[in-house]
Amino acid sequence: MPKVTPAEIRAMKARGQKIAALTAYDFPMARLLDQVGIPFILVGDSLAMVVLGFPDTTHVTMGDMEHHVRAVARAKPNSLIIGDLPFRSYETVPKAVENARRLITAGAEGVKAEGGREIIEQLRAITAAGIPFCGHLGMLPQHVIEEGGYRIKGKKESEYQALLADADALVETGAFAIVLELVTPPVAREISKRIPVPTIGIGAGPDCDGQILVTPDLLGMLPWFSLKHVRPKLNAAEQMRAVIQEWKKAVCPTC
C-alpha cells in the first residue's frame, strides 16, 4: 500500500472502494495495521477507556494524545495517521489550532474533533493552517456526561435535520471525511449519499463509505465492555489469560 493521504481517502469514496479504519495507540498495533493494509489509523481518545482505564473519554489530555500519537508514528505506517483532539482542547479557535499543531508535531497527519456547526470556526482555522480535518457526528463520546449515556442519533426529526446540516457544514468547511457514530442506519445511508467526502461509520449500519472500530473491541481484549455494534472476532483476553496462567504454572507449579 503506498502512503495514504487524506486525498486518497476521498478518492476511495469516488472509486466506490470501502474504507477499513481502526484505532491504534502504540507502535506494535500501528505496525500490524499497516502490514495488513489498513488505510486509516485513528489514535482515538478512546485511549482513555481502552488503555488508560478511565470511565469515559473526557479524561484524556493533550499530553496523553501526543505520547500515543508519537508511539504510533514511530511505526512509520503507510496508513494515514489521524489524531483525536481531546475534550476541551478545541474550545476556542486559537486553542484548536495550537493543539492541532501539537498533534501534527507528534506525528499525526490530520486531526479529528467532535461536533458540527458549533465547531465550524475551529475547523476553518485548522484547515487554514494546512491541517487535514476529519469530522465526527452522531453520538459524541466527549459529551457523554452531559447526555447521560451513549444514545443512537437520528431518530428524532430535529436530530435528523441537525445531522444533515452539520454534515453539509463540515464538508463545506473542508473536512476530508466524517465519522458517524451511533447514527441510525437509514440516516447514515442518506448522509453518505448526500456528501462527496467519505463517511466512516461505527454502529451506523453497513451503508457508510467505510467502517471504523476500536481495535481492542474487535479483538475481544476488553470483555468487561459489552457493545451492541461490535461482536469480537477473537477472544484475546481469554487467550492471554490462558497463556499467562500456563506460564505461571510452569514457573510456580504450587501457586
Which residues belong to the active site?
A: 181
Least distance (Å) from ligand KIV to the CB of residue 179? 5
3-state secondary structure of 158: helix
Which of 106, 60, 56, 61 has the alpha carbon at shortest distance from 83?
Answer: 106
Q: How far apart are CA 183 and CA 159, in angstroms?
A: 10
| Binding flags for ligand KIV, 121-150, as an x/- string (CB under 6 A) | ------------------------------
Least distance (Å) from ligand KIV to the CB of residue 202? 5
Residue 46 or 89 having the CB closest to ligand KIV: 46
Alpha helices, DSSP H, located in 111-228: 120-128, 144-147, 157-173, 185-194, 215-218
- What are the strands, taking DSSP E only, across the chain? 19-23, 40-43, 80-84, 111-112, 133-138, 177-181, 199-202, 210-213
HSE (CB half, 13 Å, CA atoms) of 153? 27
- Does position 203 interact with ligand KIV (CB under 6 A)? The reply is no
Residue 2 or 149 having the CB closest to ligand KIV: 149
- DSSP bridge pairs for 181: 138, 202
Q: Identify which range of 43-51, 61-69, 147-155, 232-240 contacts ligand KIV by CB under 6 A.
A: 43-51
> Which one of residues 23, 184, 199, 211 is an interface residue with ligand KIV (CB under 6 A)?
23
Residue, CB closest to ligand KIV? 44
Which 46-65 positions form the footprint of ligand KIV (CB under 6 A)?
A: 46
- Does position 214 interact with ligand KIV (CB under 6 A)? The reply is yes
- Does position 39 interact with ligand KIV (CB under 6 A)? The reply is no
Residue 23 or 184 having the CB closest to ligand KIV: 23
What is the gyration radius of the CA atoms in the chain, in angstroms?
Answer: 18
Q: How far apart are CA 112 and CA 99, in angstroms?
A: 11
Site size for ligand KIV, by CB under 6 A? Answer: 11
Cα angle 179-88-75, degrees, rounded to a multiple of 5: 55
Q: Is 254 exposed, middle or buried (0-12, 13-18, 19+ CB in 10 A)?
A: exposed
- Does position 119 interact with ligand KIV (CB under 6 A)? The reply is no
Residue 39 or 44 having the CB closest to ligand KIV: 44
- Does position 217 interact with ligand KIV (CB under 6 A)? The reply is no
Residue 46 or 199 having the CB closest to ligand KIV: 46
CA 107 to chain centre: 16
Binding site for ligand KIV (CB under 6 A): 23, 42, 44-46, 84, 179, 181, 202, 212, 214
